[in-house]
A and B are shown apart, each in its own frame.
Chain A
Amino acid sequence: MYELIRSNRRKSWFVFIGMGLLLITAGAAIGFYLDPNPESGQGALGGIFIAIILWAIQALIAFLGGDKIILNMSNAHKISSNDDKELFNVIDELSIASGLPMPDIYVIDTPAMNAFATGTNPKKSVVAITSGLRSRLSRQEMQAVMAHEMSHIYNRDVKYMTFASIMLCTIVILSEILLRTFLFSGGGRKNSSNKGGGNGAAQLIIIVAVIALAILAPILARMFYFSLSRKREYLADATAVNFTRDPNSLANALEKIAGDNTVFDPGKMAAAMCINKPRLKEHKENLSSTHPPIQKRIAILRALSMGTDYDTYTKVYASVVGKSDLPKSKKSKS
């Protein structure tokens, strides 16, 4: 089993390495732009150093206070078995099915229909469901939704996505710094370097390249991030039906959720862990591609008549999505 976690990890590392390289390049570009001295290379190295420090600090904050996301929501409250016996039992059953320790359970008072999981360590994880969703699902549908959330914990998605989203944030911050320094200095670097000699044209090319990078890096990083997120989303569906062996209930629940139009903003970090993309206020809609189209997810689930194991899901996924690039789950052996 642990071998499979490792192979799972390896696949996700590709995306991480891609984002890590972007991060380093962005750092190097800033450093180089501020101190363009090709001989010493100090500027570039310093930039990389700053980029990594920036990332590490954010990672540390996220990991120390990761599950605080939910505590910061004013309308979220933790429930015990007496508050909602059915919800509690459903999750208790899933903790047996998955072998995970019992997470903390939160209900968020909002008519929006969503659910999410958080916590980078399975021993200290949290699952949350909005009261809007809670009240509109049958027991089986709720089980299906919570199985999806528990699968995020099971597949260590919270950890991957936290790392990835911090990388994305850092790249965005770095690019913004880069662009702003450029705008404020009005490209004035040119003058100072002209003193050094007649390589103005080369300098100009480098500056153009740096600016192009500043614009492209965040776009690329977002693409990496969203592709990772969408795959982990399909994977969570696959793992969930593996636990419950009831793909139709998950499909039913997703259909109900698809019809929901209420605004719900759990924060950037939690968004990737939601059952469906949270409907944000308009100016934030660009976050929406953390989730695959819900219709495709439903189509896969509805086609799972011959089995609920990981291999069947992968096959159906390949025929619906047209690619066979689903990461492996720990559970994929059965």
Chain B
Amino acid sequence: MTLWIILGIVAVLIIWIISIYNGMVKMRNKVDKEWRNIDVQLERRYSLIPNLIETVKGYAKHEQGTFEKITEFRSQAMNARSVGEKAQANSQLSSALAGLTVQMEAYPELKANTNFLNLQEELASTENKISFSRSIYNEVVMDFNNKIQIFPNNIFAGMFNFKEKELFEISTAEVKEVPKVSF
């Protein structure tokens, strides 16, 4: 009789641990999925930038410095490995692009270039998509981190090697609002 009781308790414990483990795996996969969503948009932006610069160059010869800065931030962002680094580099890239937009106001001829207008629209849209995916990603990461830190999950998180995920944070000035890239 006692044996059966002990076996019963052990079985319940095992089922309990399995459910905790599965819960953590599911959330980790969700974090990974949301990260890929951001990454797709980041890649999209990297590929749009050279086209934009190519188009704008002919009109705005004096903005060479800005172009170089953007190109440099772009390659920094592309080479960044961790989430934090990518966030940092992309936040620089975002503000540089926003700066470029303001400077382009000085070249009314550009407004007549459909190619330029299309690129601007695509970049604006990508920027918004990055910011929307970012907030979803951060929400999911927050949930995941909470999940693996609370007791008793933290014991199993340690055992099964679940590590905290990094937030995709941008510099504080931009946090409050969606970057308003109006072209």
B180 touches A140 (CB 8 A): yes
Given A97-B132, A97-B136, check contact A89 B178 (CB 8 Å).
no
In residues 132-146 of chain B, which contact A (Cβ within 8 Å)?
Answer: 132-133, 135-136, 139
A246 touches B178 (CB 8 A): yes
A334 touches B139 (CB 8 A): yes
Prevailing SS type, chain B contact patch = helix
Given A85-B118, A139-B124, check contact A244 B178 (CB 8 Å).
yes
Distance in angstroms between the alpha carbons of A89 and B178 in the assembled complex: 16
A138 touches B182 (CB 8 A): yes
In residues 87-101 of chain A, which contact B (Cβ within 8 Å)?
Answer: 89-90, 92-94, 96-97, 99
Cβ of A86 within 8 Å of any chain B Cβ, yes or no, is: yes
A96 touches B129 (CB 8 A): yes
Residue of A nearest to B142 (CB): A334
Which residues of the partner chain B approach A243 to less than 8 Å between Cβ atoms? 132
B177 touches A93 (CB 8 A): no
Shortest CB-to-CB span from B62 to chain A, Å, is: 28
Cβ of A315 within 8 Å of any chain B Cβ, yes or no, is: no
A interface, size bucket: 10 to 19
Cβ of B121 within 8 Å of any chain A Cβ, yes or no, is: yes
Cβ of A302 within 8 Å of any chain B Cβ, yes or no, is: no
Cβ of B122 within 8 Å of any chain A Cβ, yes or no, is: yes
Give the 7 A-B residue pairs with the shortest CB-CB distance, closest first: A89-B125, A97-B132, A93-B128, A96-B132, A93-B129, A96-B129, A245-B178
Which residues of the partner chain A approach B122 to less than 8 Å between Cβ atoms? 85, 89
Prevailing SS type, chain A contact patch = helix
Which residues of the partner chain B approach A138 to less than 8 Å between Cβ atoms? 182
A139 touches B177 (CB 8 A): no
Distance in angstroms between the alpha carbons of A12 and B12 in the assembled complex: 39
B136 touches A99 (CB 8 A): yes
Residue of B nearest to A86 (CB): B121
A92 touches B129 (CB 8 A): yes
Shortest CB-to-CB span from A281 to chain B, Å, is: 37
What are some 29 contacts across the A-B interface (CB < 8 A)? A85-B118, A85-B121, A85-B122, A86-B121, A89-B122, A89-B124, A89-B125, A90-B125, A92-B129, A93-B125, A93-B132, A94-B132, A96-B37, A96-B136, A97-B132, A97-B135, A97-B136, A99-B136, A138-B182, A139-B124, A140-B180, A140-B182, A243-B132, A244-B178, A245-B176, A245-B177, A245-B178, A246-B178, A246-B180
Residue of B nearest to A94 (CB): B132
Which of A94, A97, A246 is within 8 Å of B177, CB to CB?
A246
Contact with B along A235-269 (1 / 0, CB 8 A): 00000000111100000000000000000000000
